[in-house]
Amino acid sequence: MASFRPAIKFLEGLQEVAFSVLQTSINQNRVFIEDRITEKQLFEKGEDGKGKKLRGYARTTIRIKRQKGQPTDRTTLKDTGAFYKSLSVEGFPLALEVKATVPYTRYLTTEGNRYGIDILRPSEETLGEFFEKFYIPDLKKEVEQEIKMAFA
């Protein structure tokens, strides 16, 4: 009679493998996520991670932006580029953390003050691209290795 114990043990360990691969995949591909947040979400679309349009610029800011040759039809949060450059992503087994380290970050992210914390949130589109391009292939590779080891 065949025993299912190796298969059961393998399946019980899959969740831990999935979380470990997620953390590694995020950390190895953090530049992709950072770029998508800054360039796609904020600069190209002028949206936070939930797809909400950012509050428009004041008239004075629009004049300054025009003088610099920067877009005025949407809020990009890119003036000098310091905010974008300070953005960093770090992966954990159950989450990813996005933070910005410029001194004025708290003014941008405080709800009611400016734009809210969701400016640091990756959009569903960004996460979908990340999963498709990086996490799923990494997970498949790791699971295949785990299968070979578990049933060798």
Domain residue extents for the chain: 9-150
| pLDDT reported for residue 113 | 67
CA distance 110 to 45: 21
Question: Which amino acid belongs to residue 128?
Answer: G
Q: Using the predicted structure, report yes or no on whether residue 3 has a pLDDT greater than 80.
A: no
Contacts 24+ apart (CB under 8 A), 141-145: 142/17, 142/20, 142/21, 143/14, 143/17
Beta strands in 35-114, from DSSP E residues, in sequence order: 88-92, 95-99
Q: What is the pLDDT of residues 6-56, one digit of tens each?
A: 777 777 888 899 999 999 999 999 999 999 999 999 999 999 999 999 988
> Cβ(90)–Cβ(30) under 8 Å?
yes
65 by DSSP, 3-state: which?
A: helix
* Pairing state between β 95-99 and 88-92: antiparallel
Q: What is the pLDDT of residues 56-115, one digit of tens each?
A: 888 998 999 999 999 999 999 998 899 999 999 999 988 899 999 999 999 899 876 678
More confident residue, 121 or 11: 121
CA distance 45 to 24: 29
Mean pLDDT computed over 120-126: 96
> Cβ(100)–Cβ(86) under 8 Å?
yes
| pLDDT reported for residue 76 | 92
Q: Using the predicted structure, report yes or no on whether residue 1 has a pLDDT greater than 70.
A: no
| pLDDT reported for residue 114 | 78
Beta strands in the chain, from DSSP E residues, in sequence order: 88-92, 95-99
Angle between helices 136-150 and 5-28 (to 10 degrees): 150
